[in-house]
Structure 1
Amino acid sequence: MSRTWFNGALVTGALALDRGERGLLLGDGLFETILVLNRTPLWGNMHFARLEASSRELGIGFDRNLLDDALEELLAGAPSSHQVLRVTLTRGSAGRGLAATGGTSSLLLTLDPFDPGLMFRPVALASTAIRRNPHSMSSRLKTLSYIDNVAAAREAAARGMEDALMLNTEGNAASSTIANLFLLKEGRLVTPARGQGILTGVMRQALLHTAAHLGIETEERAVAPGELAGAEAVFLTNSLRFVRPVSAVDQQPLAQGDLSQLVSALCEAARLQCGADPRLIWEAPGVKRPAHKEGR
């Protein structure tokens, strides 16, 4: 079951957009994609705080009380199974010109079923020539201007790969098109630093916190692409898919180190917040669930 809330009310069918909607015309907006477990947005406050900070930086109106009311209405009566919540905030309609002001921002929330079988699944990457710019707002903010990511993902798909490894303009490893990058090296977690042209993902932050709680040393720095081949494990983090081991880059296999301790601790943190372990595959009534597996 899918549900939609737009500018003050639940809606069915197509949305009625103003012809001057800048989110559509210029990609002038922001979004957050959030896993919902047991009708609870996982790490929702972190997502919404990022949305609010980004909207303030871009000068887009944001009303947290309105968002909270919209969430309550959207989630009421929703299934308790895995769902994906997307929150889209745009500048709305304004006069012509890139620097135009005025108008009222638009807020769109959608809720759709999410297949938990996509979580924790290994992924092979293809490198791409499309670079992330450390000096660009579109690299460090979660804006609607996603064309570089779209182009890189299409390039990877054309080569039979699910995602792409994106470098930054200095030639260092940055991220995939939809996830942050981590390396396990000599028992330490290494991830590209904030100034490397990355979006600092919420799951990335949750994992760094979890690692600290487990006593695992972490390091945020520039990562040369050649380091991936020598790592004990390489993996991606994403708000919907959690932790995904990288099996290969450009068809060159990578080591598959044990990530089960990190995965278990991260999932336990999610369970404490949402009352449900995200690793459990939700089934229709009367259908037996598969055995629980660690470190998927």
Structure 2
Amino acid sequence: MQPEQEGFKLAPNERLFLGEGLFETIKVLKSKPCFAELHWQRLRNSAQALGFSFTLSLEAWRHSLLAKIQQERLLDGGIKAIWTGGEASRGLISEGQNSQLLLHAFSFQTLFKPVRLKTASWLRDANNPLYQLKTINYLEAILARRQAMQEGADDALFFNTQHCVTEASCANIFFLQEGRLLTPAQTEGVLPGITRSRILNHCRHLNLAYAEVSITRELIKQSEAVFLTNALQGIHYVAAIDQHEFLPNHPTVSRLIAVLKEEEQTMLHNQLN
């Protein structure tokens, strides 16, 4: 592994310029990275799936994140961590060497207003392995969100070729129906989100019924409440999908929000002591 390069200085033959790279977005609270190990595990697993060299140890990962936070004097915000494909000779199948870890610190605002989703105008192929990896190529998501916003919505909602829900442009999605929490299965073409996995884990401990299933249009209409999840925003209510509206709050969702916050506080306490 090469150390992160200040100013993102990359060689012209870096595989990143062919879209060969991965990234993680880590929330920072009180100058501490949240759930750094979970992000590292996903980054490592994704690198292995793509055949990248991955020599970044968990200890080095944590050290790099803390050093960047300290350097930027970041109290609350986020870190975007990019793992590059490395340098290689010209050619699509050339294997990269000397992958780099690039870190960028930023601030963000927590969003509270429920969002309105608009169905994307094209379908995704659930068999495409890239949808289960957090690659640097987000152009599809960018185009879909721009189109949704032009039509008066806040974000896009993707469906696959079987006409089942997958995810929003940069968030997983959950549906509450008759006391059960439902979310699209990974096999539908879904990114295994960090907050998604935390919620499913809490469901097991809270004895909250849940299932990873195929979400059809009919199931959407039968849902009482819907919410999005990602590492920065946590849980974010959905006000509507196309013309179908949902409750702006729900006791089960409020319970999950409280549990996630409690988990964050416990994590911070353990890091500070």
Q: Same fold (TM over 0.5)?
A: yes
Corresponding position of 1:70: 64
Corresponding position of 2:13: 20
Structure 1 residues 150-196: Cα deviation after superposition (integer angstroms, max 9, x where no partner): 22111112112221111011110111111111011111101111101
Q: 1:136 aligns with which of 104, 128, 131?
A: 128
- How far the C-alpha of 1:229 sits from its partner, in A, is 2.1
Is contact 2:32–2:66 with CA below 8 Å preserved after alignment?
A: no
Corresponding position of 1:212: 204
Q: How many residues align?
A: 266
Determine whether 1:187 maps to 2:182. Answer: no
Corresponding position of 2:3: 8
Q: 1:104 aligns with which of 85, 98, 122?
A: 98
1:184, 1:214 → 2: CA distance?
A: 15
Q: Which runs of 4+ in 1 moved over 4 A?
A: 77-80
Change in 2 beyond 3 A, CA 1:152/1:207: same
Q: How does 1:244-255 map to 2 (within 5 A)?
A: 244-255=236-247
Is contact 1:231–1:255 with CA below 8 Å preserved after alignment?
A: no
Partner secondary structure for residue 173 of structure 2 = strand
- How far the C-alpha of 1:205 sits from its partner, in A, is 0.4
Corresponding position of 2:189: 197
2:88, 2:189 → 1: CA distance?
A: 30
- How far the C-alpha of 1:15 sits from its partner, in A, is 3.2
Corresponding position of 2:37: 45
Partner secondary structure for residue 76 of structure 1 = helix
Structure 1 residues 231-270: Cα deviation after superposition (integer angstroms, max 9, x where no partner): 1101111111111111011243223333211111111011
- How far the C-alpha of 1:227 sits from its partner, in A, is 1.6
Q: Which runs of 5+ in 1 are unaligned?
A: 1-5, 277-296
Q: What value does the CA root-mean-square deviation take over the aligned residues? A: 2.0
Q: 1:178 aligns with which of 170, 173, 177?
A: 170
Residue range with higher mean Cα deviation, 217-226 or 247-256: 247-256
Partner secondary structure for residue 98 of structure 1 = coil
- How far the C-alpha of 1:10 sits from its partner, in A, is 6.5
Corresponding position of 2:220: 228
Corresponding position of 1:282: none
- How far the C-alpha of 1:29 sits from its partner, in A, is 0.8
2:8, 2:172 → 1: CA distance?
A: 32
2:62, 2:254 → 1: CA distance?
A: 35
Is contact 1:138–1:145 with CA below 8 Å preserved after alignment?
A: no
Is contact 2:3–2:100 with CA below 8 Å preserved after alignment?
A: no
Q: 1:167 aligns with which of 140, 152, 159?
A: 159
2:87, 2:4 → 1: CA distance?
A: 19
- How far the C-alpha of 1:72 sits from its partner, in A, is 3.0
Partner secondary structure for residue 128 of structure 1 = strand
Change in 2 beyond 3 A, CA 1:150/1:9: closer
Is contact 2:33–2:65 with CA below 8 Å preserved after alignment?
A: no
Determine whether 1:34 maps to 2:26. Answer: yes
Is contact 1:94–1:102 with CA below 8 Å preserved after alignment?
A: yes
Is contact 1:32–1:142 with CA below 8 Å preserved after alignment?
A: yes
Change in 2 beyond 3 A, CA 1:246/1:151: same
Amino acid at match of 1:164: A
Q: Which runs of 5+ in 2 are unaligned?
A: none
Change in 2 beyond 3 A, CA 1:9/1:50: closer
Structure 1 residues 19-60: Cα deviation after superposition (integer angstroms, max 9, x where no partner): 11221x211011011111112221111111010011011121
- How far the C-alpha of 1:102 sits from its partner, in A, is 4.4
Q: Please identify which structure carries the higher helix content.
A: 2
Q: How does 1:80-91 map to 2 (within 5 A)?
A: 81-91=75-85
**Normalising to structure 2: TM-score of the pair?**
0.91
Residue range with higher mean Cα deviation, 246-255 or 179-188: 246-255
Amino acid at match of 2:192: T
Residue range with higher mean Cα deviation, 107-116 or 64-73: 64-73
**Normalising to structure 1: TM-score of the pair?**
0.84
- How far the C-alpha of 1:9 sits from its partner, in A, is 5.2
2:179, 2:105 → 1: CA distance?
A: 38
Is contact 1:7–1:108 with CA below 8 Å preserved after alignment?
A: no
1:261, 1:202 → 2: CA distance?
A: 18
Q: 1:93 aligns with which of 87, 91, 102?
A: 87
